[in-house]
């Protein structure tokens, strides 16, 4: 009965404090710790998971609608590797057909303490290699929340995106260590660091990310976003979009600053992408600053692609309805792995405007660097580097 007594010990501590159920310490039970973690968060205001503890989570965590909670994670929360369970029971997120282990929502919530959330990604990386339609869980989804601070946490081996902010306001991440690394030949695909959706005032600061997809991706209706002091390795960059994908939808990304970013061995550096073609959506990308990037061995260090997933002929026929305005790329230094180090490719008909480039120092170590642009007039002290065409 070791299992049972550990569980009781957890709750004895939980309900044993001077003010009923105020501060709780949660220990591992030996079985599924999901229900006791949920219960502790419902009953207590501070929930401590001590350093020596690994909570084994075998069931989904619905922690929505909570208020004034501090989860002090000094130890580890580890999700089980039961693919059968999670594909049937993880929470469904309609946007881009995602699923998630953990919904955390409500008001005034903090999660910190120096501990780790382990997504058990390896089994998923391997399973995805033989089943590309496998849905894989996002580790942590901030869901309908206002006032959440997540600090000093390591996110280890997420099966899919690490963090999704879905309908969040006033959300802060700081000192997050993301590491999604496969130990087999199968890559840790789609392990975005962060995705934001229908959210405003989100800050992502002072973090280190090693992954295999976007470092940060700002999806439809992300406004007032601050991304600062990130060190991203192996990623697909800081991405706005893709936007305007779904017919009948209007996507907004506005007021974004991404600065002091180190981007290494990556597919992209600073990127904006919007769909064109028939049967797509529409939107606006406005007031975006990419500032102080140091890039090393990046395939596409600076990118606007307003004909995303659409060839030139089709893009001329059906230009993007997602307009791109007031964008600044400034103080971006480093090396590309292809000759085109900056590509600003807009749909015809003036759908990109007020695009400024300054202090770009990008080189292509194996040859001469090219700066290309289509269907846009660029301004700024680096504009003369660009050879531009129109279609």
Ligand X SMILES: *[C@@H]1O[C@H](CO)[C@@H](O)[C@H](O)[C@H]1NC(C)=O
Q: How far is the CB of 92 from ligand X (least distance, A)?
A: 8
Strand partners, 146: 107, 169
Judged by CB under 6 A, the residue of 1, 2, 19, 97 near ligand X is 19
Contact partners, residue 198, CB within 8 Å, separation at least 6: 166, 167, 220, 221, 222
In the block, residue with structure tokens 């994908």: 245
Distance CA 109, CA 171 (A): 10
What pairs with residue 141 in β-bridges? Answer: 103, 164
> Catalytic: which of 70, 175, 236, 361?
236
Min CB(177)–ligand X separation in Å: 4
CB nearer to ligand X: pick between 73 and 369:
73
User: Where in 337-385 does DSSP place strands (E)?
Assistant: 340-345, 352-363, 370-374, 378-379
Stretch near ligand X under the rule CB under 6 A, chosen from 11-19, 35-43, 237-245, 295-303: 11-19
Among 117-125, 160-168, 243-251, 334-342, the segment contacting ligand X (CB under 6 A):
243-251
For residue 315, the surrounding DSSP H or E stretch is helix 312-317
Distance of alpha carbon 43 from alpha carbon 242, whole angstroms: 40
Question: Rule CB under 6 A: is residue 18 a binding residue for ligand X?
Answer: yes
- Binding residues among 350-379 for ligand X as defined by CB under 6 A: 350, 354, 356, 375-377
**Nearest alpha carbon to residue 344 among 336, 333, 335, 353:** 353
Of 1-9, 36-44, 77-85, 186-194, which segment contacts ligand X by CB under 6 A? 77-85
Hey, how many other C-beta atoms are within 10 angstroms of the C-beta on 222? Answer: 27
CA distances 301 to 275, 296, 328, 367, Å, are 20, 9, 14, 16
316 binds ligand X (CB under 6 A): no
Report 253-272 residues binding ligand X (CB under 6 A).
260
Residue among 228 and 366 whose Cβ is closer to ligand X:
228
Print the binding letters for residues 293-312 with ligand X: x by CB under 6 A, - otherwise: -x----------------x-
Closest to ligand X by CB, 182 or 366: 182
Q: Residue 192 CB, nearest distance to ligand X (Å)?
A: 17
Token readout for 88 is 């049937």
Pairing of strands 23-25, 370-374: unpaired
Does 152 help bind ligand X (rule: CB under 6 A)? yes
Question: Please, are residues 72 and 48 in contact by the beta-carbon 8 Å criterion?
Answer: yes
Active site annotation includes 70: no
Cα–Cα distance between 341 and 218 in angstroms, integer?
22
**Nearer residue to ligand X within complex by CB, 171 or 368:** 171
Sign of dihedral through CA atoms 83, 88, 91, 94? positive
Choose one: 7-15, 146-154, 316-324, 335-343; the region binding ligand X (CB under 6 A): 146-154
Find tokens 């339609």 and name the residue.
133
Q: Which of 228, 249, 255, 338 binds ligand X (CB under 6 A)?
A: 249
- Taking CB under 6 A as the criterion, which residues in 205-224 touch ligand X? 208, 220-221
* Catalytic machinery residues: 236
Please give the residue ranges that form the binding site for ligand X (CB under 6 A).
Answer: 17-19, 22-23, 46, 62, 64-65, 82, 84-85, 87, 91, 112, 131, 133-135, 151-152, 154, 156, 170, 172, 175, 177, 179, 198, 201, 203, 208, 220-221, 249-252, 260, 287, 292, 294, 311, 313-314, 326, 328, 331, 350, 354, 356, 375-377
């Amino acid at each position: 009965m070791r299992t049972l007594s550990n569980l009781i010990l957890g709750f004895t501590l939980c309900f044993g404090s001077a003010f009923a159920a105020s501060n709780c310490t949660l220990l591992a039970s030996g079985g599924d710790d999901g229900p006791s973690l949920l219960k502790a968060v419902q009953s207590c205001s501070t929930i401590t998971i001590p350093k020596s503890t690994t909570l084994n989570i075998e069931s989904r965590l619905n922690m929505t609608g909570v208020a004034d909670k501090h989860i002090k994670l000094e130890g580890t929360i580890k999700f089980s590797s039961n693919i059968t369970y999670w594909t049937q029971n993880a929470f469904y997120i309609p946007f881009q057909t995602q699923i998630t282990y953990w919904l955390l929502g409500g008001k005034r919530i903090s999660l910190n303490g120096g501990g780790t959330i382990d997504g058990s990604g390896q089994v998923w990386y391997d399973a995805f290699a033989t089943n590309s339609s496998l849905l894989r869980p996002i580790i942590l989804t901030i869901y309908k929340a206002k006032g959440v601070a997540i600090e000093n946490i390591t996110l280890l081996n997420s099966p899919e995106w690490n963090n999704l902010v879905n309908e969040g306001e006033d959300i802060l991440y700081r000192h997050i260590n993301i590491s999604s690394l496969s130990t087999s030949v199968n890559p840790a695909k789609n392990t975005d660091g962060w995705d934001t959706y229908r959210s405003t005032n989100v800050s992502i600061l002072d973090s280190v990310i090693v992954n295999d997809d976007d470092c940060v991706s700002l999806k439809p209706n992300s406004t007032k976003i601050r991304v600062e002091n990130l060190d991203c390795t192996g990623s697909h960059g800081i991405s706005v979009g893709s936007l305007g994908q779904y017919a009948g939808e209007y996507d907004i990304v506005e007021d974004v600053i991404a600065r002091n970013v180190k981007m290494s061995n990556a597919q992209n550096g600073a990127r904006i992408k919007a769909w064109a073609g028939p049967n797509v959506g529409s939107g606006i990308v406005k007031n975006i600053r990419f500032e102080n990037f140091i890039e090393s061995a990046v395939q596409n260090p600076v990118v606007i692609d307003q004909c995303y997933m659409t060839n030139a002929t089709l893009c001329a026929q059906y230009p993007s309805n997602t307009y791109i305005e007031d964008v600044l790329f400034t103080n971006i230094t480093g090396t590309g792995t292809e000759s085109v180090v900056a590509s600003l490719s807009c749909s015809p008909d003036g759908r990109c405007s007020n695009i400024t480039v300054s202090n770009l120092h990008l080189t292509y170590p194996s040859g001469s660097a090219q700066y290309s642009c289509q269907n846009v007039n660029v301004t700024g002290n680096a504009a003369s580097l660009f050879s531009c065409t129109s279609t």
